[in-house]
Structure 1
């Protein structure tokens, strides 16, 4: 079996951990920087994200998730399943000076599957170039 691939991103955010935690766990805020959802910060809660379908990749636009771990305000993990993906997204918050170092790991991509390999490449860049700036914008608006 081939080792699974992981997207790893970390970023310093000039906001305290409680504020970052709120942006990660409040459904309305989460929708502003990630996707519309029915998230609740409760271990075992099943929820969905909704986005643009990509039928040629076997993706109907719905990401099925489940809260796997919740350790406020330090760690959040959820299952992330959609199309051919069965992955896990993990967030870790570490206080750093007057802000927070936020770590993201999106793990479980099968590098032998061409669709998953392409999705890994898209998400590896997308988390950095699209999602992170939107999160920063939402955090700044919460001031």
Structure 2
């Protein structure tokens, strides 16, 4: 007998007035990631394991998908919760549409604080990403 566990995703979509290449740089360059997200030892290579470190703790990650200027996906393991974060970049007339999805949150009520935290966090992170982009050439 198998048990199907429902999961939820946090999805944030935002338009940036910058080309996909510029956004990609901010998503994959360690010193820029540190400004908008967290301290890290990221490297743009599939299967690269890295750690994001914030004042609240750390996140264990592994790069799963890397399609330059299009898609970046990595695992996100923190506080016993394992999810996957995917960034999808779509060129627009005015710049780039970014879709960020963090998938795999348990649908049980005990996981609500992680799900709600991710909703708040990605809003904050994408706002900081906009500031980083404004400062790049």
TM-score by length of 1: 0.90
Aligned equivalent of 1:48: 51
Aligned equivalent of 1:132: 126
Per-residue CA deviations over 1:62-103 (Å, capped at 9, x if unaligned) read 100000000111000000001121000000000001300000
How many correspondences in the alignment? 134
**C-alpha RMSD over aligned residues:** 1.0
Aligned equivalent of 2:20: 17
SS in 2 for 1:15: coil
1:78 corresponds to 2:77? no
Matches within 5 A, 1:31-42: 31-42=34-45
1:68 corresponds to 2:68? no
Report which of the two has the higher share of strand.
2
Q: Structure 1: 5+ residue runs without aligned partners? A: 54-60
Aligned equivalent of 1:117: 112
SS in 2 for 1:2: coil
Moved over 6 A (4+): none
Instruction: Quote the Cα distance in structure 1 between the aligned partners of 2:52 and 2:109.
Output: 23
